[in-house]
Structure 1
């Protein structure tokens, strides 16, 4: 089987992906530079580059004419042709600092409700543009009275997000009596889902679900500070919106249920939480989960550099060097803990460290990476596995 496989594991989950084959590296011939002088241009692996972090994918009833699965991309506040009902979410996203948005049409089902599930199934079957943030626009409103269906929908959205190293953004109810009960009812315990409440009031006094604005805020935070920064705090304001004040007891209950509260602070609607809907303490915080998943995605993409290389000591040292250079850059930007790079991460690749003799015979390369995201004493570990040419 002529393909490359990548095995990623972090925390409690393990994911096996097959990635497309990359083109072969080109050997260039020596070029004369003068009498008797030749310069040999040797092929080298491209340095590892970080992938985008904040492309948003919105699925919703955005068109009166397009069928389920229609896709449109916009990089400004103008909705694509045919997406005549998308302007509200599009405006909310870009008003907060979003820069790259993909829209997917979810047509109505037999009950007249937007069929997000059908759109998700189509994307899983036919492919989807790369994305980092997923929002099921209108799902919380249309399925509020059907928690079983909403639970299945969110589970499907989380699966798609996980396959793309992305995050599902959920709009929690505006005023749930008990958010812990709401979470339990929907079975939401997943590090790739995060939820926000209460809903926002726009400049016209209309109550608006916060998801599109939150996606724009996350994009703005990524661009200004990095994917490892929490989209919360006094700078995490939602332009053009107001939020109602909540009693301390309600805020404490939301925090215990891992619902990210939106509060009126300094005259602006301000996000005051950055947690995932996971009870696993390792993945409790949104920037930790997103940083690790983005690092996995970036290193996954970089394995194409080594696909046609022979699995030997020289390749293992090259991989260690390239990954170390990439992670050192993250450490210098403040993404990782530690006073030195050695305290912030480690990389292992080689026979007797991450591989066996059988791995060498089957051209399987295994790389292990540890990241000190929380503090130097705590490393989050994940493994990379891929196959080189025979």
Structure 2
């Protein structure tokens, strides 16, 4: 184009280097049982719920009337441990961010309710129904007592109790007392256990609180937890192929034993198919013979040992102690390490302290870790009195992806390039494109190199990029529409074994 008149001219450049942004390598998916809520429909389709904090999880899957944070607390008649809630709490306590939740349940939990009743106090008659604050069997342990109030006619005293489970031999209930409540204000009561709703029908149950010392108790009934969904873990993982940004897979209520193996293996097969994610798996505390534990040899899984204990406070202020796997906590530590140091840094060492647990279920000594580490199982140990991740291996025993940060660096490169190279689909597969891609990929890798992602004194020692005829493709491949970019990198492997040599210098050698 030639310019004749003075002015500003716009020229659109259609070919040039691509913009490559680093993909996230710490988005976790949590798959397991929840007390309420569900992700599996009757037709076995699966809907993963995206969360960015513990509150997002609690709003969908936690029994809010009996809970602390995202953890559903046990009650007298529902004492099951909420491993999923504890994993979510551990994930965010340790630095987690974006995550997906797949409950293996179907969303059919029901809310406990009192049935309709009428409060009578002289000329005042108002009808209500009371329901638990959220769905779930926990609500069946709630009760409401109404009694005459010293405030006089038209007022009522209300006591709401929840039978809790705790470490105590005789657990105390959670109790809420509301004194001198006007009957017309009952529906506005802000309870953390139940809600009251005014109704217009004339119920058969009548509670007359005008009688001196009158008292009547209503129990809540018919609350249920969500039922098991129809989809198997293998079918759930098939559905998860449609979510591209998952990097970490956790199965909080499973461990590597007879019951858990099939589902964990389904997760590993899924990770191997997707080639951009890793399973974090929990081993049993009882394992003694690691060589015969039957752990698969593959780079898409990392195993951890032992478990931890969590101590929570229930509504009555009493302690509730539970043993749980740590994969949710570990996913959070990986996310924290990625944010602070990069995916090429091992999520292990003194910076990888495990937050949100009271103790480990076993204490692992230096000598005892030898057998664990040689079988590529990662120990969680007390280091200076603090539970700390002290291993960063995959199960790719003696393979090139034996170290977790090496595998995850490969994930980072592959996912980042996959996202960017979408821009090149249907572009002219010629020298101009190849040169632009090489420049873009080299620039991206140089950025990683400057952050310490690779070994090598110079970028040329740290990585190589090939793209073009005779470099990464043949003419026959180009003729079929193939564009291949080949990246080779020199991984920065973690220093696992630090040896200090101490020698004496003698006078005659100086």
TM-score range for the pair, normalised by the shorter chain length: 0.7 to 0.9
Partner of 1:25: none
How many angstroms does 1:49 deviate by? 1.0
Aligned pair 1:59/2:167, yes or no?
no
Does the 8 Å CA contact 1:130/1:164 hold for their aligned counterparts? no
Aligned pair 1:71/2:58, yes or no?
no
Partner of 2:199: none
Partner of 1:161: 271
Deviations 1:126-157 (A, max 9, x none): 733621110112122xx7344xxx33322210
State the Cα RMSD in Å.
2.6
Partner of 2:248: 133
Aligned pair 1:308/2:308, yes or no?
no
Partner of 2:448: 330
**Relative to structure 2, which stretch is displaced further, 127-136 or 200-209?**
200-209
Does the 8 Å CA contact 2:252/2:326 hold for their aligned counterparts? no
Partner of 1:255: 373
| Change in 2 beyond 3 A, CA 1:116/1:93 | farther
| Change in 2 beyond 3 A, CA 1:363/1:91 | same
Does the 8 Å CA contact 1:117/1:156 hold for their aligned counterparts? no
Q: Which has the higher helix share?
A: 1
Aligned pair 1:173/2:150, yes or no?
no
Does the 8 Å CA contact 2:344/2:492 hold for their aligned counterparts? no
Partner of 1:124: 238
Deviations 1:210-269 (A, max 9, x none): 111111111100100000000111111011322342244421110111110011112210
CA distance in 1, matches of 2:28, 2:342: 16
How many angstroms does 1:201 deviate by? 2.2
CA distance in 1, matches of 2:437, 2:60: 46
Of the two, which has the highest radius of gyration? Answer: 2
CA distance in 1, matches of 2:421, 2:244: 20
Partner of 1:215: 331
Partner of 1:238: 354
Partner of 2:13: 42
Does the 8 Å CA contact 1:62/1:83 hold for their aligned counterparts? yes
Residue 363 of structure 1, aligned match among 470, 481, 488: 481
- List alignment gaps of at least 5 residues for structure 1: 1-29, 376-390
| Change in 2 beyond 3 A, CA 1:200/1:49 | same
TM-score w.r.t. length of structure 1: 0.79
Deviations 1:36-89 (A, max 9, x none): 541202134541111111111000112434252342222112115331254322
Does the 8 Å CA contact 2:17/2:439 hold for their aligned counterparts? no
Does the 8 Å CA contact 1:51/1:297 hold for their aligned counterparts? yes
**Relative to structure 2, which stretch is displaced further, 348-357 or 155-164?**
155-164
| Change in 2 beyond 3 A, CA 1:65/1:38 | closer
Partner SS, residue 433 of structure 2: helix
Deviations 1:113-136 (A, max 9, x none): 967972441341473362111011
Deviations 1:308-329 (A, max 9, x none): 3111111111111011001000
- List alignment gaps of at least 5 residues for structure 2: 41-45, 63-71, 73-83, 107-225, 313-320, 494-510
Q: How many residue pairs get matched?
A: 334
CA distance in 1, matches of 2:227, 2:398: 34
CA distance in 1, matches of 2:374, 2:282: 17
Partner SS, residue 400 of structure 2: helix
Residue 100 of structure 1, aligned match among 98, 104, 119: 98
Does the 8 Å CA contact 2:233/2:266 hold for their aligned counterparts? no
| Change in 2 beyond 3 A, CA 1:129/1:113 | farther
How many angstroms does 1:343 deviate by? 0.5
| Change in 2 beyond 3 A, CA 1:263/1:114 | farther
